[in-house]
Amino acid sequence: MGKPTGFLEFPRRDRSYAPVNERLNNYKEFVRPLPEDELRLQGARCMDCGVPYCHQGCPVNNIIPEWNDLVHTGAHRTALEILHQTNNFPDFTGRVCPAPCEAACTLNLVEEPVTIKTIEHAIIERGWEEGWVQPQIAAHRTGKRVAVIGSGPAGLAAAQQLARAGHMVAVYEKAARIGGLLRYGIPDFKMEKHVIDRRIAQMRSEGVEFHPNTHIGVNMPVDRLLREYDAIVLAIGAEAPRTLPVPGHDLEGVHFAMEFLPQQNKRVSGEKVTEREILATGRDVLVIGGGDTGSDCIGTSNRQKANSVAQLEIMPMPPEHEDKLSTWPYWPLKLRTSSSHEEGCEREFAVATKAFTGENGRVTGLDAVRVAWGKGADGRMAMQEVPGSAFHIKADLVLLAMGFVAPVHGGVLEQLEIALDARGNVKATDIDYLTSHKNVFVAGDARRGQSLVVWAIREGRQCARAVDEALMGRSELPR
């Protein structure tokens, strides 16, 4: 701990954003990094607690106090080495992680937390600028072959770890480009895609093979992988969206968020949009559902110059501030206003959709009702419609962003006859990551359900260790 009184001397400062009118004119990242001298002061705010709750709060258990101190003293290269010990892709998490570590920071109890995510981002970007991020090529080859199905953060983390353990690794991806939701879900204004491309180049140098446009279970049977590989990792995500089966849901202009968002990511990267184009330009857009996906629809609609953007959430508005003494060090329920909300959006809470209305087959609006939430007879939260509260909202583009229920059950899962858990995810523990099928493992959203990039990285890393142990009888990969 370089500066024992840092937290008393320096207030929290974080990265700023480009002004709204500037950032809405393009799809580029708009977060402005902290200058080096300020970054060092922010590192000095870390109290190096005896029990670092941030480390527990971070799903990959980043060794945060160590690198906070190293940044404070200017030892960025060592900070990067320590960061890479626990996180394969701090460039992804430093951009899109909601930072549960900061909620868990001890300083957050009485003050504002250390700007952990900003420091993480600065360490890795400095690493790339200085050429410190190099392929880590395995010294010995094991002769074992592993196929990873799916190239999101879970698949990429598993593949990188397994290649570094000396296995021959091939990643199969149904989409045209590698990256999963990092590539096609998360918009460029949150994470530009060259950030994925440079990691793919690193992984290729480490020996990982990539096979895009290969839909396992559809245009390549999984049997072939079972014959050719010693182990398979399923990292297929949780792609089945939650539906809203009310009258009018099949009208033209009502779309799932993941029909809308990938198209814009493709346009930005110059990839051809082969599906029928969905654009918010000039439209009254209604986003149903909160969360990251809903926010991304708002930010994208505003960049496409929508006429208006509104968001409906069925849950009541959470409190503006959490009661830290009862929620710390856990992730608190509180009102979260994303950068996309700030760019322009009307938000309504405790509203349920009754039906979509339309003319000539196209959506024109939505009939809604206000709901009140309270504890039902069984003690669970339940909602009741507020009598006389029905109202109508005009909309000619509706984006459904109510989350994802499970992985898609047909195709590869059906062919493998994989056992599912009660929620419809692939059944496996977070100890051995082994499915009901011999030599087939699972990681990421496909196992834990819809989650976060940082959790997918954790699962990919831990699954890689489990695979390595199963193949070799022992493993030196970290858990």
Residue 451 contacts which entry, ligand SF4, ligand FAD, none (Cβ below 5-8 A, type-dependent): ligand FAD
Residue 116 contacts which entry, ligand FAD, ligand SF4, none (Cβ below 5-8 A, type-dependent): ligand SF4
Q: Round to whole Å and give the CA distance between 15 and 421.
A: 41
For ligand FAD, which residue of 155, 166, 332, 358 counts as binding (CB under 6 A)?
155
Q: Round to whole Å and give the CA distance between 348 and 366.
A: 13
Identify residue 343 by its one-letter amino acid code.
Answer: E
Is the previous residue joined to 212 through a cis bond, with omega within 30 degrees of 0? no
Q: Is 418 in the site for ligand SF4 (CB under 6 A)?
A: no
Contact region with ligand FAD (CB under 6 A), list: 11-19, 167-175, 263-271, 389-397: 167-175
Q: Is 68 in the site for ligand SF4 (CB under 6 A)?
A: no
DSSP for 164-232, written as a single string: HTT-EEEEE-SSSSS-THHHHTS-TTTS-THHHHHHHHHHHHTT-EEE-S--BTTTB-HHHHHHH-SEE
- Segment 384 to 443, residues that bind ligand FAD, using CB under 6 A: 411-412
Which residues lie closer than 8 Å to 422 by C-beta, 6 or more apart? none
Helix or strand run (H / E) with residue 68: helix 64-72
Do 311 and 347 meet the contact criterion of CB atoms below 8 Å apart?
A: yes
For ligand SF4, which residue of 39, 40, 62, 146 counts as binding (CB under 6 A)?
62
Q: Is 460 in the site for ligand SF4 (CB under 6 A)?
A: no
For ligand FAD, which residue of 122, 453, 463, 471 counts as binding (CB under 6 A)?
453
CB-nearer residue toward ligand SF4: 33 or 212 = 33
| Closest among 219, 237, 269, 231 to 152, alpha carbons compared | 237
Beta strands in 239-396 (DSSP E): 240-241, 254-256, 284-288, 308-312, 346-348, 351-359, 362-375, 381-385, 391-394
For ligand FAD, which residue of 173, 206, 322, 468 counts as binding (CB under 6 A)?
173
For ligand FAD, which residue of 65, 166, 237, 290 counts as binding (CB under 6 A)?
237
CA distances from 297 to 238, 280, 466 (A): 19, 10, 37
CB-nearer residue toward ligand FAD: 80 or 453 = 453
DSSP for 287-312, written as a single string: EE--HHHHHHHHHHHHHTT-SEEEEE
CB-nearer residue toward ligand SF4: 412 or 456 = 456
Q: Is 332 in the site for ligand SF4 (CB under 6 A)?
A: no
Q: Round to whole Å and give the CA distance between 373 and 381.
A: 7
Q: Round to whole Å and give the CA distance between 156 and 61.
A: 18
Q: Is 100 in the site for ligand FAD (CB under 6 A)?
A: no
State the nearest-atom distance from the C-beta of 257 to ligand FAD, in Å.
Answer: 6
Q: Is 150 in the site for ligand FAD (CB under 6 A)?
A: yes
Which residues lie closer than 8 Å to 75 by C-beta, 6 or more apart? none
| Closest among 169, 203, 163, 199 to 182, alpha carbons compared | 199
In this structure, what token pair is assigned to residue 35? 């200058």
CB-nearer residue toward ligand FAD: 298 or 351 = 298
State the nearest-atom distance from the C-beta of 152 to ligand FAD, in Å.
Answer: 2
CB-nearer residue toward ligand SF4: 96 or 175 = 96
How many residues of this chain interact with ligand FAD, rule: CB under 6 A? Answer: 39
For ligand FAD, which residue of 52, 57, 217, 449 counts as binding (CB under 6 A)?
217
CB-nearer residue toward ligand FAD: 6 or 155 = 155
Binding map of ligand SF4 across residues 82-111, x = CB under 6 A, - = no contact: -----------x---x-xxx----------
In this structure, what token pair is assigned to residue 461? 């890393």
CB-nearer residue toward ligand FAD: 175 or 368 = 175
Residue 298 contacts which entry, ligand FAD, ligand SF4, none (Cβ below 5-8 A, type-dependent): none
Q: Round to whole Å and give the CA distance between 333 and 344.
A: 23
In this structure, what token pair is assigned to residue 58? 């971070």
Do 132 and 77 meet the contact criterion of CB atoms below 8 Å apart?
A: yes
CB-nearer residue toward ligand FAD: 155 or 248 = 155
- Catalog residues that contact ligand SF4 under the rule CB under 6 A: 58, 60, 62, 64, 93, 97, 99-101, 116-117, 120, 454
- Catalog residues that contact ligand FAD under the rule CB under 6 A: 96-97, 149-155, 172-175, 180-181, 185-186, 190, 215-217, 235-237, 258, 261, 292-293, 296, 411-412, 444-446, 451-454, 456
